[in-house]
């Protein structure tokens, strides 16, 4: 029996492999078991004075936190907040990475509700169910029923409080409509016709519609789902199965495709900021967007159309005659499971979502925050801040808006949907094909 001599090269290879696996082992052990959530006790005592809370927030909300909430929180509690703004298309992934990557830099997350399942699955949010039950001054019954559960409840547990009651309504430029002898559309057919007429007669000076088509769920997803809601459709049925090939969904996608040639060029390039800027500068006659546009549109420092705009509920279509909007985007505030100041973070969440703070933010142009409570939505102060739109906003937030899915796979399936829709808008496939392919993807993911 002969013994193979072990060369230095072989020794090095073996040592390298052993070292690599030694390094990998703890990662396997630590990463594979993630996803456990912890709960905050009902009687958790908070001492905010002297505590600095770090917040990761949606970029368009940064003014609300830094200009409105920070000073008040400091004055009322002696605590301090530090705000980090993140672009909306990276918010959920950054929040997951902050916890899973071990950085744990943040105490409070301003989260998308359709990312709630993914965040809970990642163990990134603290279960606040018991803690909410122990807060006698929280007045949870005042939160708008249309958003309270969708924004915060996942598999029977509550992981945050509603912060920004987001939904879309239809804004139009009165001046342009009057010039072309048009009335605000009540149906999506009327909307398409108005967009075509204005664009053709506008001679390139302005466009009939601004269609937000940036290829992310929060933008193109909203544009599709607004039309879907108008046609009385849903994304999933009562059992949770996708319904993307319904007649309503096909009609919604076909309308989205049909209006694109008559919209501000080019819809697939238009995101939130470009759309707002175009409408406020009078380049577009219609835009379906978030309700806080009503505050910006009347602010002469940013708007050229102050006093020259109107607002209606989203149009309807098909057999549906009742206006219905969708909970497009929408945010809650939750406590990061990596926070070292969980009771204080929870106290901040309660304080920031209280009626007084919500009213201040929902009445301030540029804050990007909409009502989250009935008392705010129906207050005289809010109506005074947004006299033109208050009634329409009330009708829609008091109604039964279409809710987006929030399973752990929701970010992926919504991205799959907008990818297919983008190809349809681009003309590479028809609406039915796009929705059939999206349906297949949703069925595959939701059955896992």
Partner 1 sequence: MTAVDVAAPRTTRPVPAGPDRQGPRRRRAGRVPFWLAVPSLGGLAVLLVYPTIYLIGLAFTTSSLARPLQRWSGFDNFVEANRSLAFNGSLVRSVIFALAGALLQLALGVGLAVLLRARGPRLGVAGTLLLLPLVTPPVMVGVAWKLMLAPVGGSFTGVWEALGVPGFNPLGSGPGAFATLLAIDAWQWTPFVTLLVFAALLGVDRELIEAAQLDGAGAWRSFRSVVWPAILPTVLAVALIKVVLGFKVFDLIVVVTEGGPGVATILSPYEIYRTGLRGQYDMGTAAAETLVFALVVGVVTAAITAARHRAVRDQ
User: Using CB under 8 A as the criterion, which residues of the chain lie in contact with partner 1 when the complex forms?
Assistant: 7-8, 12, 16, 19-21, 23-24, 27-28, 31-32, 34-35, 89-90, 92-93, 96-97, 100, 118, 121-124, 204, 214-217, 264-266, 268-269, 278, 283, 408, 411-412, 414-416, 419-420, 422-423, 425-426, 428, 437
> Distance (Å, rounded) from C-alpha 331 to C-alpha 115?
10
> CB-wise, 267 or 371, nearer to partner 1?
267
> CB-wise, 21 or 49, nearer to partner 1?
21
Query: Nearest approach, Cβ of 113 to partner 1 (angstroms)?
Result: 15
Query: Nearest approach, Cβ of 437 to partner 1 (angstroms)?
Result: 8
> CB-wise, 226 or 283, nearer to partner 1?
283
> CB-wise, 6 or 380, nearer to partner 1?
6
> Distance (Å, rounded) from C-alpha 333 to C-alpha 111?
6
> CB-wise, 110 or 416, nearer to partner 1?
416
Query: Nearest approach, Cβ of 34 to partner 1 (angstroms)?
Result: 5
> Distance (Å, rounded) from C-alpha 326 to C-alpha 151?
13
Query: Nearest approach, Cβ of 10 to partner 1 (angstroms)?
Result: 13
> CB-wise, 214 or 358, nearer to partner 1?
214
> CB-wise, 124 or 293, nearer to partner 1?
124
Query: Nearest approach, Cβ of 243 to partner 1 (angstroms)?
Result: 21
> CB-wise, 65 or 106, nearer to partner 1?
106
Q: Is the dihedral of CA 368, 374, 109, 151 positive or negative?
A: negative
Query: Nearest approach, Cβ of 62 to partner 1 (angstroms)?
Result: 20
Any residues with CB less than 8 A from the CB of 361 and at least 6 apart, and which? Answer: 64, 68, 69, 367, 369
> CB-wise, 187 or 415, nearer to partner 1?
415
> CB-wise, 289 or 379, nearer to partner 1?
289
Query: Nearest approach, Cβ of 252 to partner 1 (angstroms)?
Result: 19
Query: Nearest approach, Cβ of 178 to partner 1 (angstroms)?
Result: 22
> CB-wise, 266 or 400, nearer to partner 1?
266
Query: Nearest approach, Cβ of 360 to partner 1 (angstroms)?
Result: 33
Tell me whether residue 292 is exposed, middle or buried, using C-beta atoms within 10 angstroms of its C-beta: 0 to 12, 13 to 18, 19 or more.
Answer: buried
> CB-wise, 374 or 406, nearer to partner 1?
406
Q: Are 220 and 253 in contact (CB under 8 A)?
A: no
Q: Is the dihedral of CA 116, 122, 125, 131 positive or negative?
A: positive
Query: Nearest approach, Cβ of 219 to partner 1 (angstroms)?
Result: 10
Q: What is the 3-state secondary structure (H, E, C) of the chain?
A: CCCCCCCHHHHHHHHHHHHHHHHHHHHHHHHHCCCCCCECCCCCCCCCCCCEEEEEEEHHHHHHHHHHHHHHHHHHHCCEEEEEEECHHHHHHHHHHHHHCCCCCCCEEEEEHHHHHHHHHCCCECECHHHHHCCCCCCHHHECHHHHHHHHEECCEECCEEEECCCEEEEEEHHHHHHCCCCCCCEHHHHHHHHHHHHHHHCCCCECEECCCCCCHHHHHHHHHHHHHHCCCCCECCCCCECCCCHHHHHHHHHHHHHHHHECCCHHHCCHHHHHHHHHCCCECEEEEECCHHHHHCCCCCCCCCCCEEEECCCECCCCCCCCCECCCCEEEEEECCCCCHHHHHHHHHHHCCHHHHHHHHCCCCCCCCCCEHHHHCCHHHHHHCCCCHHHHHHHHCCCCECCCCCCCHHHHHHHHHHHHHHHHHCCCCHHHHHHHHHHHHHHHHCC
Query: Nearest approach, Cβ of 353 to partner 1 (angstroms)?
Result: 25
Query: Nearest approach, Cβ of 212 to partner 1 (angstroms)?
Result: 13
């Amino acid at each position: 029996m002969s013994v193979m001599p072990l060369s230095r090269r072989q020794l090095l290879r073996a040592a390298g492999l052993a070292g690599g696996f030694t390094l990998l082992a703890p990662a396997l052990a630590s990463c594979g078991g993630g996803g456990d959530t912890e709960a905050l006790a009902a009687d958790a005592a908070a001492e905010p004075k002297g505590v600095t809370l770090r917040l990761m927030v949606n970029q368009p909300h940064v003014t609300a936190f830094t200009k409105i909430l920070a000073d008040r929180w400091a004055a009322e509690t002696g605590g301090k907040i530090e705000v980090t703004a993140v672009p909306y298309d990276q918010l959920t992934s950054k929040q997951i990475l902050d916890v899973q990557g071990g950085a744990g830099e943040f105490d409070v997350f301003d989260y998308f509700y359709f990312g709630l399942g993914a965040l809970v699955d990642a163990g990134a949010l603290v279960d606040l169910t018991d803690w909410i039950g122990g807060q006698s001054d929280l007045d949870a019954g005042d939160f708008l029923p249309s958003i309270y559960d969708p924004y915060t409840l996942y598999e029977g547990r509550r992981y945050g409080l509603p912060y920004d009651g987001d939904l879309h309504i239809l804004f139009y430029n009165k001046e342009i409509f009057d010039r072309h002898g048009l009335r605000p559309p009540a149906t999506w057919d009327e909307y398409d016709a108005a967009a075509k007429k204005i664009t053709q007669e506008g001679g390139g000076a302005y466009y009939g519609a601004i269609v937000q088509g940036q290829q992310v769920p929060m933008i193109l997803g909203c544009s599709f789902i607004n039309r879907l809601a108008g046609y009385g459709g849903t994304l999933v049925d009562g059992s949770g199965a996708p319904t993307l090939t319904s007649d309503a969904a096909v009609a919604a996608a076909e309308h989205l495709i049909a209006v694109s040639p008559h919209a501000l060029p080019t819809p697939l390039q238009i995101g939130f900021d470009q759309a707002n800027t175009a409408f406020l500068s009078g380049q577009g006659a219609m835009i379906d967007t978030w309700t806080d546009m009503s505050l910006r549109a009347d602010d002469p420092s940013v708007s050229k159309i102050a006093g020259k705009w109107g607002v209606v509920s989203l149009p309807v279509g098909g057999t549906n005659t009742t206006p219905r909007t969708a909970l497009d985007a929408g945010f809650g505030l939750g406590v990061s499971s990596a926070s070292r100041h969980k009771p204080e973070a929870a106290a901040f969440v309660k304080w920031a979502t209280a009626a007084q703070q919500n009213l201040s933010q929902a009445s301030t142009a540029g804050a990007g925050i909409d009502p989250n409570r009935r008392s705010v939505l129906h207050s005289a102060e809010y109506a005074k801040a947004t006299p033109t739109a208050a009634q329409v906003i009330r009708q829609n937030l008091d109604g039964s808006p279409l809710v987006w899915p929030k399973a752990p796979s929701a970010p992926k399936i919504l991205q799959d949907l907008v990818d297919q829709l983008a190809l349809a808008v681009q003309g590479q496939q028809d609406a039915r094909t796009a929705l059939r392919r999206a349906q297949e993807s949703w069925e595959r993911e939701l059955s896992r």
